[in-house]
Amino acid sequence: MPRYPKFLLMIATSTAVMLGLMYLNTYAPDHIYWSETRFYMALLMGATMAIVMLLFMWNMYTSRGANAAILVASVLVFATALWLVRSQRTVQDVAWMKAMIPHHSIAILTSERAGLSDPRVQELAAGIIRTQREEIAQMKALIEDLENR
């Protein structure tokens, strides 16, 4: 396979893998929802990886035009994805809740499984677990209601 298509396939595959990896620290499988924000973050990481990898392997890729195009495209993808992450412009009610459920799930996982010894910290963690579970249940109900309108 020619080098440039293989490079682009490697970046696309790695970006997809990074998107999946962002869900590994959720507490429960039913807390996994599609998240625009996580998708934009994966694009941000993929664009960064494309730049870093191309610069490290510059001698393997000898077309100045192709290298410049990859760098420019990567910077544009990075800037756009960063703007989308920071502005949350495309995230509406349901998308926001679908992004927040995995986020809350991570709080449950870390609060429940951390080796906490101070009773004050344990109490704080227990409260976080309780409220995050309640909020997840509330968001799931709202999602169902809004999607079934």
pLDDT in tens, 107-135: 999 999 999 999 999 999 999 999 999 99
The pLDDT of residue 2 is 76
| Confidence (pTM) | 0.85
Torsion of CA 57, 59, 65, 66, to 10 degrees: -40
d(CA 77, CA 80): 5
Distance CA 68, CA 81 (A): 20
pLDDT digits 0-9 by tens, 52-108: 999 999 999 989 999 999 999 999 999 999 999 999 999 999 999 999 999 999 999
For residue 50, pLDDT beyond 90: yes
Buried b (16+ CB within 10 A) or exposed e, 57-67: eeeeeeeeeee
Sign of the four-CA dihedral 18, 19, 25, 30:
negative
Q: Which two tokens stand for residue 10?
A: 């490697």
